Chain A
Amino acid sequence: MANFDQLSAREIAAGVANGDFTATEVARAALDAVEARDGEVKAFLQVSADLALAAAEATDKARAAGEKLGPLAGVPVAFKDNMHLVGTRTTCASKMLANYESTFTATCVQRMLGAGATPVGKTNMDEFAFGSSTESSAFHPTANPWDTERVPGGSSGGSAAAVAAGEVTVSLGSDTGGSIRQPASLCGVVGLKPTYGAVSRYGVVAFGSSLDQVGPFGRSVEDVALAMNALTAGGRDPWDSTSQPVATDFLAHLNDGVEGRRVGIVPALMEAAGLTDEVRDAVTAAGRALQDQGAELVEVELPNIASAIAAYYVIAPCEAFSNLARFDGVRYGYQEPGQATLAEQTSLSRAHGFGEEAKRRQMLGAYLLSSGTYDKYYYPAQQVRTLITADYARAYEKCDVILMPAAPRTAFKFGEMSDPTQMYASDMFTISNNIVGNGGVSVPLGLGATSGLPVSAQLQGPAFADATLLTFARAIERSNSASDGSGAPVAPAFAGKGGELA
């Protein structure tokens, strides 16, 4: 029969429901693909074979008992390793949490499982999500499936690479400044950062509490829509006080036309320093494809987003410092042995448990929150946040969505970006959306004319218009003749390696 990596989430769920194959067969195929492919990709920090087979068996039993199956029945999924899942460690790719066993299951994970998904494992990431290349993982780097000498992006690099390599059908990541959209772009898959509050953060290790948002990766827009339905259909999560109800069927309008609808273009962004020609050309072509389908392109301005990186690198480190203060080596996490006082134990546990970038971000946050500095940076950054929010609100009076690049360039080589502040520029197109809390999606546009690596466009939209984003993303996907309009391919070096449906 087919290789499971050629099937969409919808096809897998339908195949399981119809009895074409069992969830157990799909789970075994996915585990086989991981076995065959992950030695090179290294997307996973932990493969949860027992949980996968137990979940698949439960799905098969439910079908045998005549129960109605969930919309993700039997679909192999992976979770970023900052999401709690009982029966797995949750390490945040940090030595600090190397042995931390999940004590409960995150709402986002539980909802995917509740929809019938099969949990294949936990994926690699930049340590505590600080980074754009997954190189700051304390355990190992992850390779980009399109060129294994290059990074997959980050921080959700393992989740993006696992989908791009066809090891799983769908995965979840988290996005604080671009950590879903940038790796999706570098790995040639669809990645959605939903509006802040649309998906519960309960059970996801916090980085920047006013910025973090969980979202799905898939090889097609439809798979991402299916995952969004699973993540939001349960309504507001009472265990995340910032969770919002999202009464949207993400599939209902997926294939709607875009005729007569307006797509904003920000001329200054298309001329941004650091944006490569091949990415600019591909995004321009995506705009033309939307125009060909009857959409109208309109110019909009976002004058204050030039300051978004500065505002972000005030707000995010401050929130990170507050959140990571909990890692004191007492209740969980690395504990330095043999210390006479709690103060010494704490500062040495943190010194030896955290990697370099995690220390840098916390040090920056500690400085910015200190008295005298707060008024110079933190408060003004939150005022600039208001200006950026107002820019977007004005823009969305003139358009339904905004089209722009997701990442300035294609995947870079390991070690190529050695300077931390240079790495921060990787998120130049994504970061402003976290500042304002709106949704954004990365849509693959095939391979770049110069690099031969995946390039993509980003669509941003107003708050809680994430389904509209997917409608436009689907319109771009539909126009992509290289993939006959059905979604992005598995990276060729890995397609079909292991994963046959027995």
Chain B
Amino acid sequence: MPLTREDVAGIADYARIALTPEELDEMTAYMNDAVDLLEPIRAYDLEGVEPTFHPIGDLSNVMGEDVPDDAVRHLPVDVALKNAGASRDRSFRVPSILGDQGGDR
């Protein structure tokens, strides 16, 4: 069943990408074309086939030592903040995360 405009609007909301009504029309057409392209995947009988999530060998999660890397990879605060759209003191600055209106503007 093709994706409807409402379906795509729901996905856009979940993906946090605000689409204009016109973009929503174009995106709906694209999503249905793209999903058609994926049909070969559904034609297989994959009973008993193990998935491959990672291409090379028996890799599993690699855990680092739980110690700060102050020497090399540590980003100084001013470097970490310099690409932020808004900051204050040693922090990133964001609008309210609670409710529609309240909070720090």
B55 touches A363 (CB 8 A): no
* A365 nearest in chain B by CB position: B15
Set of chain B residues within 8 Å of A350, measured between Cβ atoms: 15-18
Known A210-B53, A314-B38, A377-B38: A359·B16 in contact at CB below 8 Å: no
B51 touches A379 (CB 8 A): yes
A386 touches B18 (CB 8 A): no
Bound complex: CA of A195 vs CA of B11, how far in Å? Answer: 34
Interface check B40, CB cutoff 8 A: yes
B92 touches A364 (CB 8 A): no
Closest beta carbon of chain A to B73's beta carbon, Å: 7
Bound complex: CA of A380 vs CA of B47, how far in Å? Answer: 10
Known A350-B16, A376-B42: A363·B8 in contact at CB below 8 Å: yes
Partner of B17, one of A242, A307, A362, A376: A362
B41 touches A384 (CB 8 A): yes
Bound complex: CA of A420 vs CA of B39, how far in Å? Answer: 17
Set of chain A residues within 8 Å of B86, measured between Cβ atoms: 335
Set of chain B residues within 8 Å of A341, measured between Cβ atoms: 95-97, 99-101, 103
A306 touches B37 (CB 8 A): no
Number of interface residues of B (CB under 8 A): 57
Set of chain A residues within 8 Å of B35, measured between Cβ atoms: 364, 367
Partner of A386, one of B52, B73, B83: B52
Total number of A-B contacts with CB less than 8 angstroms? 180
Number of interface residues of A (CB under 8 A): 72
Set of chain A residues within 8 Å of B57, measured between Cβ atoms: 463
B34 touches A343 (CB 8 A): no
Known A363-B12, A363-B31, A364-B31: A351·B55 in contact at CB below 8 Å: no
Interface string of B16-49 (1 = CB under 8 A from A): 1111000100010011011101111110101001
B75 touches A331 (CB 8 A): no
Set of chain A residues within 8 Å of B8, measured between Cβ atoms: 363
B55 touches A335 (CB 8 A): no
Interface check A451, CB cutoff 8 A: no
Closest beta carbon of chain B to A416's beta carbon, Å: 18
Closest beta carbon of chain B to A81's beta carbon, Å: 15
Interface string of A193-209 (1 = CB under 8 A from B): 00111000000000000
Q: Which residues of B36-85 are within 8 A (CB) of A? A: 37-42, 44, 46, 49-57, 59, 61-62, 73, 75, 79-80, 82-85
Bound complex: CA of A344 vs CA of B94, how far in Å? Answer: 11
Interface check B90, CB cutoff 8 A: no
Which candidate, A63-71, A98-106, A179-187, A485-493, is the interface stretch facing chain B? A98-106
Closest beta carbon of chain A to B22's beta carbon, Å: 12
A364 touches B34 (CB 8 A): yes
A389 touches B95 (CB 8 A): no
A242 touches B59 (CB 8 A): yes
B30 touches A360 (CB 8 A): yes
* B49 nearest in chain A by CB position: A383
Q: Which residues of B1-17 are within 8 A (CB) of A? A: 3, 8, 11-17
A363 touches B40 (CB 8 A): no
Bound complex: CA of A149 vs CA of B86, how far in Å? Answer: 42
Known A340-B95, A341-B96, A421-B33: A347·B44 in contact at CB below 8 Å: no
Set of chain B residues within 8 Å of A370, measured between Cβ atoms: 11, 14
Interface check B105, CB cutoff 8 A: yes
B52 touches A389 (CB 8 A): yes
A340 touches B101 (CB 8 A): yes
* B63 nearest in chain A by CB position: A241
B17 touches A340 (CB 8 A): no
Q: Which residues of A415-433 are within 8 A (CB) of B? A: 419-421, 424
A330 touches B52 (CB 8 A): no
Closest beta carbon of chain A to B89's beta carbon, Å: 15
B62 touches A363 (CB 8 A): no
B41 touches A307 (CB 8 A): yes
A331 touches B37 (CB 8 A): no
Set of chain B residues within 8 Å of A46, measured between Cβ atoms: none
Add 6 more A-B contacts to A314-B38, A340-B105 (CB < 8 A).
Answer: A196-B55, A239-B73, A309-B37, A313-B37, A341-B100, A342-B96
Query: Could you list 11 A-B pairs, sorted by A, with CB under 8 Å?
Result: A100-B83, A101-B83, A210-B53, A310-B37, A310-B41, A330-B84, A351-B17, A380-B46, A389-B52, A389-B55, A435-B55
The 3 closest A-B pairs by CB, nearest first: A437-B55, A335-B85, A382-B51
Which residues of B are at the interface with A, using a C-beta cutoff of 8 A? 3, 8, 11-19, 23, 27, 30-31, 33-35, 37-42, 44, 46, 49-57, 59, 61-62, 73, 75, 79-80, 82-86, 92, 94-97, 99-101, 103, 105
